[in-house]
Amino acid sequence: MILIVAIVLFAAGGNDKDSAADDPNQPEQTRCVGLKDPLPAGAPKIEIAAGPAPTTLEKKDLVVGKGAVVTGTPGEIEVNYLGVTCRTGKIFDSSWARKQTLTADLANLIPGWKQGIPGMREGGRRLLRIPSDLAYGQSGGQGIAPNEPLIFVVDVVKG
């Protein structure tokens, strides 16, 4: 009987850590509320759902590009992006809202981007769920609260 329960929990993706994080009765700091703001003009139609806050970097390709691959070495990349705070669901920054792509050296970006963007292809779109220690950490910054997990949608224009 115990083996059957374990198999059912495994098949359902359940374990103690995930079950606690998916519980809506868990403290607010362990949950992402989902996107609460309207998407800016020109931004892709994307869903950022409520759920457990990321504890490790999570990458999900929404569109696989066909162009050059972004390497992990320092170098300029050009991207469009949307950034959302996990606990409030508010958009804190968006290149689509500014109608201007971001061109930056990958080495100068937050660790979640340094680790989350390499491997993408030009023309690709990726959802990054970044724990606070790979974002702005304990100090916060750029209008981000301390220890705030972040969610980004990133389109690589040029890698």
Q: Which long-range contacts does 132-137 make (Cβ < 8 Å, 24+ apart)?
A: 134/57, 134/110, 135/110, 135/111, 136/110
What pLDDT is stored for residue 142 in this prediction? 82
pLDDT digits (tens, 9 = 90+) for 51-83: 999 999 999 999 999 999 999 888 899 999 999
Q: Where are the alpha helices (DSSP H) in 12-128?
A: 16-22, 95-98, 111-116
Domains of the chain: residue spans and CATH: 27-158 (3.10.50.40)
Structure tokens at 72: 């992990």
Per DSSP, the residues of 33-73 read ----SPPPTT--------EEPPSS-EEEEEE---SPBPPSS
The residue ranges of the chain whose pLDDT is under 70 are 1-29
What pLDDT is stored for residue 4 in this prediction? 34
What pLDDT is stored for residue 121 in this prediction? 97
Tokens 């390709």, residue located: 61
Which residues are registered as beta bridge partners of 22? none
What pLDDT is stored for residue 29 in this prediction? 58
